[in-house]
Amino acid sequence: MAKQLHIRLDDAVYEALLEYNLETNSTAQDSIASAIMMFLKQQNKENEPGNADFRFIDLFAGIGGMRLAYEQAGGHCVYSNEWNKYSQQTYFANFGEQPDGDITKVDENSIPDHDVLVAGFPCQPFSIAGVSKKQSMGRATGFEDKTQGTLFFDVCRILKAKRPKAFMLENVKNLCSHDRGRTFKVITESLDELDYAVFYKVLDGQNFVPQHRERIIIVGFDRKRYGNNIEFSFNITPAVPKPLMKDILDKEVDSKYTLSDKLWIYLQNYAAKHKAAGNGFGYGIADPNGISRTLSARYYKDGSEILIAQEGKNPRRLTPRECARLQGFPDDFKIPVSDTQAYKQFGNSVVVPLMANIADLVRIKMQELDAGELVKGEISETLKAENCKKEVKKKTAIIKQKELAVV
């Protein structure tokens, strides 16, 4: 919810503000809000911890799931980008930083130097649900989706200009098979052409949270910096004991999350109709001692994919806080938006502890590669010194020979 703030401005500042508003076709409110955000972002940069292991940027940041993961691995975020205004609101509430907007309009050279580029570029053009919906509406999917499908190439644009040591990209499992594998081939070939060693694997979030959530993770390391002999393995360390649904549920929940009789009857009839047709569509009652289906951005519509049984009542949907836990967000993570927006945001987010596990692997590999470069540098300096000594001896011998010849 927006708050009102009354401020006093000197006449000179007020006149400058009016002139700026005319030039940019913006309101005084928007201009002041942007100025405050820029000031806070600058303060955040100035307060950068000196003990950070590495610097990273957070592209297509959403509400900051990747940022949480990489901060847990010892990184410091120096730039963030997210176009959705509601996600920006949640991001700011938790990190005190307003992400940049439209990435297609960002000058790649203006982005701060960083060690790792992190990006969960939009998955809707490639997800099973997104593709099915768009095809039914006669709309383009994948790279043919000009609004979201081509944003991957903005990642390439930034990689080319800034050449970070490493990157990590995240997307839906269906990215691998989209357009019979041609889409994924374009992605991996594009990254290879940028001279990065590329590694990828489909990983399931259920190793860290009680949710079946498969995602493709793509990791790369700069071959120009580290050479061609780079190896990397996704040796994740699953949580022990394995999380269960009952671990993330609240004991008392507002009655507004209980399904109405009308909606519950509709969901049962819908499931019965598709079952009779041999389809697997329908609602899902989560086992408290098991895991749930995949939480999606459409959860706000009816919550049918993950319902919680209630004794003597219709089942209920998860609360936004329970959705946050299902994705591995801590309980102190602020949710400043409506339930509808919160469901969309957590449905579009990542399994934080899984990403933190991978972030740690990326950090360790960078340290190993940097140490290798340091050793190479030391060996190179030693060889240079030895060559220098040999050259001095050689010149000294020549001088002595000339002196003897003169005598």
Give catalytic residues, as residue numbers: 123
What is the rounded CA–CA span in Å between residue 137 and residue 226?
47
What is d(CA 238, CA 357) in angstroms, rounded to the nearest whole number?
Answer: 9
SS3 118: strand
* Assigned token pair, 327: 């994705």
Q: Rounded to whole angstroms, how far apart are CA atoms 284 and 306?
A: 5
DSSP bridge pairs for 260: none
- What are the φ/ψ torsions at residue 115 (nearest 5 degrees)? -90, -35
d(CA 224, CA 220): 12
Overall residue count recorded for the chain in this entry? 407
CA–CA gap between residue 312 and residue 306 (Å, rounded): 19
Long-range CB pairs of 225-228, under 8 A, 24+ apart, other chains included: 225/163, 225/165, 225/369, 225/373, 226/165, 226/197, 226/369, 226/372, 226/373, 228/197
Token pair in block for residue 331: 């309980």
